[in-house]
A = this chain, B = another copy of it.
């Protein structure tokens, strides 16, 4: 397996899966060391204040079991900083390692998974992992394809958040659609104020209620449903992103599309442009006396031109598929006998990914932004280099 690192100069490497620790249960070893998720963040500048409390706050946003909309499964998701932070909680420039031990490694789950080992769960990755890794691929709890993997993304994104906070850049993600019920559009200010005021993170508090009622109904049916998330990055300066293959748009799309369950991404007007004319799409530039820089009268472009940030808000929308695990009879195949089987997979999963996916979207955009900021810090022009050089 490869692909467990994101970023070029801000590099987040993650690992871990739900149940491997079960095979290392041993009374001689503290349970926290049996297994879990780990993250190594390389490229963290020295002098950054990083505490486990700050990281924990982000992790708690995605923690299951917090509302009726979540899986009843409880995971502590407690984070331990293991390296890279020293006196006064300051980073030293060394890689920051964070551990999130798995606290919920019950024999029960293993037995349950083993029992259904040969039945392909529709909509899940077991088949493709088997084709890729063969008989030893992780058949318990989906391995690296488990939603649990995203804990490590959020931990990495929390470090990015601390850097962005120090620069006045804010990234928020919120729900704009659940099972066809749409909300918005929202200004950054409205979204910021309200998006965490309800269990589904929708800034329109009335529509949020509808979404929640509908979702509880879907849950009751044993089904699940999809939705859409909008992400806004506020305060991003112009000039981020590398031309051609590594545009900021491409880097962000890479990160967002790598989240399990995401089936589409749009920037700015997105798929709305397919029916529009150029005269309806171009944003008009003007000189803003107040900020003393070029701004744009509209932001249909979603904050990027030529794939490089233009100083306006970055606006992204993300399509999230329904949780594939549902509590209904489903037709599938037994990979051992090759016979068709109808089975109801008993599993504790969320009826929708939407209420818990926003911190992961925020994390990926934050990592992409910090990485792009560091890329942009290096080498733009020789004048710029000369100025920096003098200080070395």
When the two chains form their complex, are residues B282 and A136 in contact, meaning their CB atoms are under 8 A apart?
no
- In angstroms, Cα B114 to Cα A381, docked, is 21
Q: How many residues of A contact B (CB 8 A)?
A: 181
Also in contact, A277 and B382, with CB within 8 A (given A1-B42, A83-B35, A133-B92): no
Classify the interface of chain A: helix, strand, loop or mixed.
mixed
Q: List 23 A-B contacts (CB under 8 A).
A: A1-B242, A1-B243, A3-B42, A3-B246, A4-B40, A17-B83, A36-B82, A45-B379, A92-B136, A92-B137, A123-B278, A127-B294, A128-B241, A144-B244, A145-B307, A224-B277, A224-B278, A226-B274, A227-B274, A250-B255, A258-B307, A266-B271, A373-B389
Nearest chain B CB to A226 CB, angstrom units = 4
Nearest chain B CB to A386 CB, angstrom units = 7
Nearest B residue to A44 by beta-carbon distance? B1
The 6 closest A-B pairs by CB, nearest first: A125-B306, A3-B242, A3-B246, A180-B275, A224-B278, A128-B308
Does A99 count as interface, using CB distance less than 8 angstroms?
yes
A22-30, A54-62, A69-77, A187-195: which one contacts chain B?
A22-30
When the two chains form their complex, are residues B167 and A389 in contact, meaning their CB atoms are under 8 A apart?
yes
Nearest chain B CB to A118 CB, angstrom units = 12
- In angstroms, Cα B251 to Cα A180, docked, is 28
Does A184 count as interface, using CB distance less than 8 angstroms?
no
Does A233 count as interface, using CB distance less than 8 angstroms?
no
Contacts of A375 in B (CB 8 A): 2, 9, 378
Does A85 count as interface, using CB distance less than 8 angstroms?
yes
When the two chains form their complex, are residues A322 and B276 in contact, meaning their CB atoms are under 8 A apart?
yes
When the two chains form their complex, are residues A14 and B244 in contact, meaning their CB atoms are under 8 A apart?
yes
- In angstroms, Cα B44 to Cα A335, docked, is 25
Across the interface, A267 reaches (CB within 8 A) one of B264, B285, B294, B306, namely: B264
Does A157 count as interface, using CB distance less than 8 angstroms?
no
Nearest B residue to A86 by beta-carbon distance? B20
Within 8 A of B (CB), among A285-317: 285-287, 294, 301-302, 304-311
